Amino acid sequence: MAATGFEVRRSAGALGAAILGIDLSQSLDEATAQALRAAWLEHQVLFFRDQSLDSDQYLRLARCFGEPVEYPFIRGLDGYPMITPVVKLEHERHNFGGVWHADTTYLDEPPKASMLLAREVPPFGGDTLFASQTAAWEALSPGLQQTLSGLVGVSSSAKADVSRTREDRIRDAGRADARREYCAEHPAVRTHPETGRRALYVNIAHTARFAGWTEEESAPLLAWLFEHQVRPEFTCRFSWRPGSIALWDNRCVQHNPVNDYHGYRRVMHRITLRGDRPR
């Protein structure tokens, strides 16, 4: 038990920690907020259970870690544009963002973090997988690390698999001002601006090719990386209950919501936090 009054319980070897003994509906003093931020940077994704938060309390918690920003494709909740509903309904087959990815790397300044709060969960399934991209980077050979350090990935919001996972929500809650496609170029390996650790920064949902390479030339190396990035030893898995929260570092973590609960409803509220240009 830390001096701040909460316990950090590690979830897996590569990343993840559960935070126990804390009530996030209450305002956090600065010492507690600093301790949570330090635990988050160390473990890359934090998990909380049994938190009863309204939208104002949820936003107040998010601001302890950064500045909330709007999601480019889907409207937020009425009166809370920074809170994006992540919903799969009983009759739907595709889940929102249902592929391994880091959030919105097709933006010039992708978010530094994402936070998800479970409102309604199915009776089984609907877990989320997380993968450490620092662990994935550190497991590469020196020769491949040297090659990747000189490459730039081109990200697009229009890759087919991830576009399909947005269709239901765009149909009923799409933003009128959303562009048809967002594109951005970022280093294939980025340096974390707070920890200084390096991480792979390509992902199967958004990275279409390397800058200066064709898609055909890029495909073999990207395919190998996409498989390498999510090796089991780099991952952890979180099972949701109502009131569960996950906060992950989008600069060095990928996630994948498992789509194994057809016929049931799942409702989550997501907040993303403003990031910077990857370097």
Q: Can you give the residue ranges of every domain in the chain?
A: 7-273
7-273 CATH, one of 3.30.1490.120, 3.40.30.10, 3.60.130.10, 3.30.565.10? 3.60.130.10
Q: Rounded distance, CA 186 to CA 133, Å?
A: 15
Catalytic residue among 101, 169, 198, 266: 101
Catalytic residue among 75, 169, 251, 255: 255
Dump pLDDT digits (tens) for 237-278. 999 999 999 999 999 999 999 999 999 999 999 999 999 999
Dump pLDDT digits (tens) for 79-90. 999 999 999 999
Catalytic residue among 169, 186, 197, 270: 270
Assess whether 270 carries a catalytic annotation.
Answer: yes
Q: What is the pTM of this model?
A: 0.92
Q: Is 74 exposed, middle or buried (0-12, 13-18, 19+ CB in 10 A)?
A: buried
Assess whether 255 carries a catalytic annotation.
Answer: yes
Catalytic residue among 103, 190, 251, 266: 103
Assess whether 43 carries a catalytic annotation.
Answer: no
Dump pLDDT digits (tens) for 157-167. 988 566 555 55
